[in-house]
Structure 1
Amino acid sequence: MTDAMTPYLGYELAWFVATLIGCLLIALPVMLAVAMAIYAERKLWAAFALRRGPNVVGPLGLLQSFADGLKVFLQETIVPAAANRTLFLIAPIITFTVALIAWAVIPFGPSMVLANVNVGLLYILAASSLGVYGVILAGWASNSKYPFYSAIRAAAQMVSYEVSIGFVLISVVLWAGSFNMQDIVLAQKGTILGVISFNALNPLLLPMSVVFLISAMAETSRTPFDLTEAESELVAGYQTEYSSMAFALYWLGEYANVILMCALNSVLFWGGWLPPVDWAPLYAVPGILWLFAKMLVVFFIFAWVKATVPRYRYDQLMRLGWKIFLPLSLLWVFLVSGWLMLTRFHGA
């Protein structure tokens, strides 16, 4: 796109316009996907509970999320008198923005990626870790004890599971031999019996795919790890003092992070945009459709768990992260690296 516009705009302006268009082509569908994800999840919860779910606003209730968004948008934004006004309003913006910038390195197809950088996985780790700031600032700037307690709890939870996620990603990087997201996808091509393109079916990476999925639920504060918003204990957690669009940005950011984790699960362990079987006719289907189908499966698992699994206690949450997932993921780094030294790099 940059090359096509360079003769008319010059390289610098052409690069800027092309990058801006690329950002919009990712950000706008992601925001639309967030609205549809909320609708789909409510429908799934209703099905699990033998209810009908949203079915009034629009055909099949498809416009319910937009009606909810309009209602929130029209409400008054209330800032507590004792709050730090600037940080109070910046905090939800940070959370929502961080949820979007990580998509820059997600590959949607063989050449469909905004920034095909060699350290794409490190970029995602860095971007996702910034989400802690939005939570901490929300609790501190509210100048209220309950949001602050919840913000501390949320920060501890997010940091705890980021550690185990980091070691899981090291195992994937060792197997693929690259931090580049496209290379990680291509490294899965026909790796199982020379035909199946899934890391998750690799005996060495299968346990890590399960650890990553559960850690992703904890990282995004999803049930059964939604202790940062446990209404029975903390009113509404660090969001207690928020209203109107400031409150909505946290919900949008949460669902954007959930969709991002679905994409990461698909890219790292389920072949990303590759077809499930390395068979030539299947490559006629656009890679973005394969990626989207895999994301839907992972999203269904997220909704299924939320509808059926009871909430953990906080001590159980910490024990799972520090005493089970962290030692297990660290051990797996040694197992994967040892296996690679004995097989792939033996005698090199």
Structure 2
Amino acid sequence: MNNNLIMLINIVNIIIPILIAVAFIVLIERKILGYMQLRKGPSIVGPSGTMQTIADGIKLFIKENLKPSSATPTLFFLSPALFLLLALILWTIIPCPNPNINVNLSLILILGISSLSVYSLLGTGWASNSKYSLIGGIRAVAQTISYEISISIILLSLIILTGTFNLNAIINAQNNSWLIFSCIPLSYIWYISSLAETNRTPFDLTEGESELVSGYNVEYAGGPFALFFLAEYANIIFINLLSTILFLGGNLPINIFPINIIIIAIKTSILSSTFLWVRASFPRFRYDQLMFLTWKSYLPFSISFLLWNIILINSINNAIPNTFL
């Protein structure tokens, strides 16, 4: 009984901060977009519109859940729940300040869990029995697979440089210098790939309104749509938190809780704000431009940088014994 209670408390401790963070980033996004487009943004519900996100969430969950008559019921309602569940599981691995699941191969676990989300997207498109949903799901899977290859190679380069798969060890390896300074090209590719990985502008081709109405979730309303919404923004915050750990890590000279958490939150908030800035500034790419960028630009470059890191590390390892001789 005590173990079940502790597990329940840990789950609540994960879910509640994520929901608050999602509500906060949605509010900030609408405020930033309103400011950049000379609009007010949310300003009525709550002080300065701060309760607007909560009101929208309540509205979605109390609305009627509609389902196409020809849809597959089980998969139709299971896919959004699976999408959100995978997004929440990823947060248990992040060491802030201590991970709930501490494994040495944490980066491999993150890649494996995040890759499972394509099954949810494809299942959503197929179960809706709509051509728009199916095309949107296929686009999402193709886009995710394409950019996960570049992301995986970038992670492999960082693993070679730091000599570890563990996120805690990668943070400690940056105490003297952030990896972004020595891996500026990789950080640039990582940032663009993270935009595509989370289906954000200018790579939100799965939600192309001009040709797909709303993409894979076009047939969803109410609660299931809210689950997709929560998972999408939870993934946005997660990918920026992971970017902070990988490229802007390192502990403070005084590594005291909660100061270290506040510093990480500030870095993550800055990166998340750039996501919102990009959405307000850039138009959507064409799908062929997206595929060209990943397969003919980022993939060859990331492989070249990986080979360079391997040669560099081998040269350093071979030179160290000679210096002692």
Map of 1:92 onto structure 2: 80
Identity over aligned pairs, percent? 41
Answering whether residue 197 of structure 2 is matched by residue 211 of structure 1, we say no
Map of 2:90 onto structure 1: 102
Answering whether residue 308 of structure 2 is matched by residue 335 of structure 1, we say yes
Q: Which has the higher contact order (CA 8 A, sep 6+)?
A: 2
Q: Residues 178 and 282 (structure 1 numbering): CA distance in 2 closer, same or farther, change over 3 Å?
A: closer
Map of 1:133 onto structure 2: 119
Decide which moves more: 135-144 or 17-26. 17-26
Tell me the distance in 2 between the aligned counterparts of 1:17 and 1:343. Answer: 51
- The structure 2 residue matched to 1:186, chosen from 163, 168, 172, is 172
- Which structure's residues are more often helix, by fraction? 2
**How far off its partner does 1:328 sit?**
0.8
User: Are the aligned partners of 1:23 and 1:114 in contact in 2 as well (CA < 8 Å)?
Assistant: no
Matches within 5 A, 1:49-64: 49-64=37-52
Paired residue type of 1:105:
I
- The structure 1 residue matched to 2:36, chosen from 25, 38, 48, is 48
Tell me the distance in 2 between the aligned counterparts of 1:134 and 1:73. Answer: 20
- The structure 2 residue matched to 1:250, chosen from 218, 228, 239, is 228
Decide which moves more: 335-344 or 296-305. 335-344
Q: Residues 256 and 343 (structure 1 numbering): CA distance in 2 closer, same or farther, change over 3 Å?
A: same
- The structure 1 residue matched to 2:291, chosen from 307, 318, 333, is 318
Matches within 5 A, 1:1-348: 15-109=3-97, 112-191=98-177, 198-202=178-182, 205-271=183-249, 274-275=251-252, 280=253, 286-344=259-317, 346=319
**How far off its partner does 1:219 sit?**
0.6
**How far off its partner does 1:281 sit?**
5.5
**Partner SS for 2:181:** coil
**Partner SS for 1:241:** coil
**How far off its partner does 1:19 sit?**
3.9
| 1:30-76 CA distance string (max 9 Å, x none) | 11111111001111111111222111100111110011111111111
Tell me the distance in 1 between the aligned counterparts of 2:60 and 2:190. Answer: 33
| 1:268-317 CA distance string (max 9 Å, x none) | 00016x24xxxx36868621111101001101110110110111000000
Q: Residues 346 and 14 (structure 1 numbering): CA distance in 2 closer, same or farther, change over 3 Å?
A: farther
Q: What's the TM-score, normalizing by structure 2? A: 0.95
Aligned residue pair count: 321
Tell me the distance in 1 between the aligned counterparts of 2:263 and 2:169. Answer: 17
**How far off its partner does 1:251 sit?**
1.0
Paired residue type of 2:9:
I
Root-mean-square deviation over aligned CA pairs: 1.6
Tell me the distance in 2 between the aligned counterparts of 1:229 and 1:220. Answer: 12
User: Are the aligned partners of 1:94 and 1:134 in contact in 2 as well (CA < 8 Å)?
Assistant: yes
**How far off its partner does 1:17 sit?**
3.9
**How far off its partner does 1:343 sit?**
1.8
Q: Residues 345 and 130 (structure 1 numbering): CA distance in 2 closer, same or farther, change over 3 Å?
A: farther
Tell me the distance in 1 between the aligned counterparts of 2:26 and 2:82. Answer: 21
| 1:135-194 CA distance string (max 9 Å, x none) | 100110011111111111111001000000000000111111111110010011113xxx
**Partner SS for 1:115:** coil
Paired residue type of 2:164:
S
Tell me the distance in 2 between the aligned counterparts of 1:177 and 1:216. Answer: 23
Unpaired runs of 5+ in structure 2?
A: none
Q: Residues 55 and 271 (structure 1 numbering): CA distance in 2 closer, same or farther, change over 3 Å?
A: same
Tell me the distance in 2 between the aligned counterparts of 1:172 and 1:61. Answer: 42
Unpaired runs of 5+ in structure 1?
A: 1-12, 192-197
Tell me the distance in 1 between the aligned counterparts of 2:318 and 2:60. Answer: 57
Q: Residues 341 and 142 (structure 1 numbering): CA distance in 2 closer, same or farther, change over 3 Å?
A: same
Paired residue type of 1:199:
L
Tell me the distance in 2 between the aligned counterparts of 1:181 and 1:226. Answer: 29
